[in-house]
Every structure is written in structure tokens, then in C-alpha cells.
Amino acid sequence: MMDAPLLPLFILLTSLLAAPILFALPERAARLRTAINLGMAALKVALVGWLSIKVSQGVIYDLRFEMLPGLEFKLQADPLAILFIALSAVLWLITTIYSVGYLEHGPHRARFFGFFSLCVAATVGIALSGNLFTFLLFYELLTLATYPLVIHRGTAEALRAGRIYLIYTLAGGLVLLLGTLGLWVLAGTTDFVPGGVLADVVAENRLAAQLLFVVLIGALGVKAALVPFHRWLPIAMVAPAPVSALLHAVAVVKAGAFGIMRVVYEVFGIETAQTLGMTAPLAALAGVTIIYGSIRAITQDDIKKRLAYSTVSQVSYITLGVALASPIAAVGALAHLIHQGLMKITMFMAAGNLAEGLGVKRVSQMDGVGRAMPGTMLAFTLAALGMIGLPPLAGFVSKWYLAQGGLQADQVWVIALLLGSSLLNAIYFLPMLHRAWFRDAAPEGTGAPGRPRIGWMLAAPPVTTAVLVLVAGSFANAPFSPLEWTRFIVAIEYQE
């Protein structure tokens, strides 16, 4: 039997060790590559399942070794880590299937899947990091692993986007390094502890603690695409569809949002952050980002860009829920981490299918695509309605809890914000659905006559995730649903 204490390490290694093997495989060894990819992804899902059962039983995993005197590399599997790691494991498996189909005859597949694996390893590492120092290591690895994926096509446009991506994220990483050092110097530890580690420091040195909050949240805000650090995200849309899907749903923006959670809950502690007077500005910034992203999305004709601005908006729901400093809003934020992932990955895979199957890349070309690709568009529709917040879909559950949390925190403006945002979501999503289902295809036809041929590897993944969107919303109160797990976490973070 596998040595149980090392379970988190094995989960990390499933994708970390796959990477060098995938790099070294010859380009033509497609079957072997697919077998390794899917095998490792499935193994990871199984291991994560096992880990989550163990953690729910109260087993504590804690692996550490010293990198510099006092400074530890630390992996820790707590309920919050499980939430994120489960999301990444499941969506990695689905995206891997999709990528294999998407890149079937494309160039540089060895490189692609190698970095793809590294990217997932970095995400898993981010989830399992037991202190900010370890988090920083994986956060930078994530940047380095995603860069080659973003510029995968190797065109001038892709490289330009890659450069902007790299500048934003590495600058953010450098600021995070500064913040991590600051925390280390101020507090003498970078550990993630529910309730935070800075309570003593705040009493003595309020200004330094406030600065530290700004530095850390600013650094993480780059990846979380908080305004004004969001510009890279729509530009990074030149990446292949599965990469965009992964970037938006699991990897990069989520790493930022997840980091904000860790910093607010377990570095500062929600009470300390409130004492510092930092939660209200953060909530306001998240609110601005939510509205700004939605407004920008309306005018985008490029489907992927519209989805990207929608991500800018939607990911900030998570930050909003954290910053409201109410346990109920926290439930909404955490649930949205999962729900947004499921919905967004569905939409990006569907958009990829439209481009592959019909050559449709713009909203104005979407007339009648529903008839040409009903499965894909049905999935897209479910996800879009979920985003708008229609019950019983997943997005409704998150918005419901966020709104209640706003009331609990006496922040009535949150209700208005959520209503306004939902309205804006409807304004930019409904026309897409209308075109797809209720208009006839243009005469000279963007769509080829008859059904476009896309393989099951492209068709099945978005349908699967769309079903998950429906299930996560409808059975939100079932045991082991994201929502239930979320309540478990919030009880820990709010030390109830």
C-alpha cells in the first residue's frame, strides 16, 4: 500500500513526473502520449478522491523540509486545498481529453503536453502550499509553464501576447516575492494558519501591515485579473482553446483568487484584515472589476475576448465574497471558485468547437450555429444561463450566497451590484444565444452544409462540464457537493 503521509506529494508528482516524459517522447508517438496523459490525469483524480475522504475524516497531511534556516518548503492538505485540487484534477482530466482531440494533427504536441502537465503540477502545488513561500515557488512555476502554452502557435501576434503576459505575471511575481519577504521579516513565519499570523504585528506596526496587505493583494491581483491589472487576460486569448479554458477555469486566474483567499484568511486573518480597514477597499475594487469587466464584454465581437472580459468580471465575485468578511459570503466565494470554473471551461471548450467545426470565431458569425452544433451549443447555453444566475444552475447558488452575505455584512450595495452584474451578463450572453438558436445561418454560410465533423474528444467534454454545472446547482445541498465542502471550510476559516 502507498505510504499515506506522502499522499499529497504523490498527487503533485503525477503531473510533475509526467512532464519530462512527455517532453522526451517523439512527436509521432501520439498513442503513448495520450495514454500517459490520460493515465496520469485519471490517477490524479483517484488520488485526490482518496485524499479528500481522508481529510474529511480529519487526517492531517503535513510534509516539510528546510530550504534555508527556518524557511520551509511545506505541503499541507487542508479542506481549502482539497477544494481547489479537486477542481483542478477533474477539469484537468476533461481538458486533457479535449486537448488531445483539439491538437490531433497540430505541431509541437510533445512540448504542448509537457508544459500542460507542468502547468497542472504548479496548480496542484499552489493548492497544497502550506506557507506563502511554497506558494510563491509554485506561483512562479505556473507563470513559466503557461507562457509556452500561451504562445503555442508561434506567430508574431502570439509572441506579442506572450510578452505582455510575461511582463504582467513576472512583475506580479516579483512583487509577491517582495511581499513574501516582507511577511517573513515582519512575522518570522510565512505559514498559512486559520486566523492569520499577523495579529501581534498589527498592534505594533499598523502601517507596515497595511502596506503588506496592499503589496500581497496587488501581486495576486495580477493573476486574478483585478482592475487595473487585468489587461493581459483578454490579450492572452491568442492561446489555443484548451489553454484558454484551463487558464480561465483552473490555472492562472484561479491561482490568483485562491491566493487572495489564503492571504486574507490565513496570513492576515479576516478579523485582522478588518481591523486594518483593508477589506472594504478590496470589496470596492472587486465591485469595480465586476462591473468594468461586464461592460467591456458587451462590445467585444470576438467570442473568446467576450468570454475573457466575462472572466475578469466573474472571478472578482470570489474576491468580493472574501472581502465582505461575512461567513455566508465566504461560502458563496468558495462555491464560485468551483462553479465559475465549471461554467467557464464549458464555454471555452464550446467556443473552441465552434472555431474548429464551423470556423466561427466572432459573435456576428454565430447565426444559426445552434442547429449546426446542437450539443455544443446546448452546453454553452447552460453555462451562459448559469453565469447570468438562473436557478437551478451553479451560478445562481454562488450569487444567492453572495447576496445573503452582503446583507449579513450590512452592505446593501452588494445586492444592487449583483443585480446589475446579472443584467450586464444577460446583455452580453443572451444575444449570443439568440443568434445561435433563433436566427438562420447567413446565406453564403459560415457553416458548412450538414453536420460539421468534430470527434467525440471535442464534443463530449463541454457537455460533461455543462452537466456538472446543472448538478452542482441542483444538488447543492447533497453531501460532497462543492457547497457542502465549502461550509466545512468556512467553519475552519472563521474558527467557528
Partner 1 sequence: MSVEISPMILSVFVPLFGAIAAFVLPRAAALIGFATLVLTSGAVAWLARDVLAAGAVGLPLGGWGAPLGIDLRADGLSVAMLALTSVVGFLVSIAALDSLKGPEQARQRQYFWPLWLLLLTGMNGVYLSTDIFNLYVMIEVIALAAVGLTVLSGSRAALQAGLDYMYASIFGALLFLMGVGFVYLQLGRLDFAGLTGAAPTGALIAALALIFVGLALKTALFPLHFWLPAAHANATAPASALLSGLVVKAALYVVLRLAQYMPFPSENLLTLVGLMGAGAVIWGGVQALRAERLKLLVAWSTVAQIGLIFVAFARAGEVGLSESWKAAALLILAHGIAKAAMFLAAGRIKDEIGHDVIRDLDRTPIRPTLAQFTFALAAISLIGLPPSLGFIGKWSLMEGAMAAGYWHWVGVTMAGTLLSVAYFSRVFAGFLRFDRVRAPVGEHQGWALADAAPLTLALMAIGLGLLAAPVLSFIEIGYPFGVAP
C-alpha span between 375 and 366 (Å, rounded): 15
With beta carbons less than 8 A apart as the criterion, state whether 72 and 135 touch.
Answer: no
Report which residue type is found at 396. F
Q: Which of 155, 299, 477, 495 binds partner 1 (CB under 8 A)?
A: 155
Q: Is 308 in the site for partner 1 (CB under 8 A)?
A: no
Select the span of 55-63, 177-185, 243-251, 314-322 touching partner 1 (CB under 8 A): 177-185
Backbone torsions φ then ψ of 443, nearest 5 degrees: -55, -55
Which of 482, 66, 492 shows the shortest CA–CA distance to 262? 492
Q: Decide: is 104 part of the binding site for partner 1 (CB under 8 A).
A: no
Per CB under 8 A, the list member of 5, 154, 228, 281 interacting with partner 1 is 154
Which listed residue (171, 284, 416, 430) binds partner 1 by CB under 8 A?
171
Site residues (CB under 8 A) for partner 1, limited to 120-149: 136-137, 140-141, 144, 147-148
Interacting residues with partner 1 between 15 and 44 (CB under 8 A): 23, 26-27
3-state secondary structure of 362: strand
Choose which of 18, 55, 103, 110 interacts with partner 1 (CB under 8 A).
110
Sequence-distant (≥ 6) Cβ neighbours of residue 66 within 8 angstroms:
72, 73
- The sign one gets for the Cα dihedral 363, 99, 385, 376 is positive
Task: Using CA atoms of 211, 214, 220, 224 in order, give the dihedral in degrees to the nearest 10.
Answer: 180
Instruction: Select from 65-73, 90-98, 245-253, 401-409 the region that touches partner 1 (CB under 8 A).
Output: 65-73
Stretch of residues binding partner 1 (CB under 8 A), selected from 4-12, 51-59, 179-187, 488-496: 179-187
Q: Does 108 bind partner 1 (CB under 8 A)?
A: yes
Stretch that binds partner 1, among 162-170, 195-203, 251-259, 270-278 (CB under 8 A): 162-170
- Describe the crossing of helices 413-438 and 279-298 by its angle, rounded to 10 degrees: 20
Using the minimum distance from each CB to partner 1, give the nearer residue, 145 or 333: 145
The rounded distance, in Å, linking the Cα atoms of 368 and 365 is 9
Alpha helices in 324-412 (DSSP H): 327-358, 369-372, 374-388, 394-408
Size of the site for partner 1 (CB under 8 A): 41
**Which of 170, 214, 460, 470 is close enough to bind partner 1 by CB under 8 A?**
170
**Position among 4, 59, 60, 174 found at the interface with partner 1 (CB under 8 A):** 174
**By three-state DSSP, how is residue 74 classified?**
strand
Interface with partner 1 (CB under 8 A): 23, 26-27, 65-69, 73, 107-111, 136-137, 140-141, 144, 147-148, 151, 153-156, 159, 162-163, 166-167, 170-171, 173-174, 177-178, 181-182, 184-185
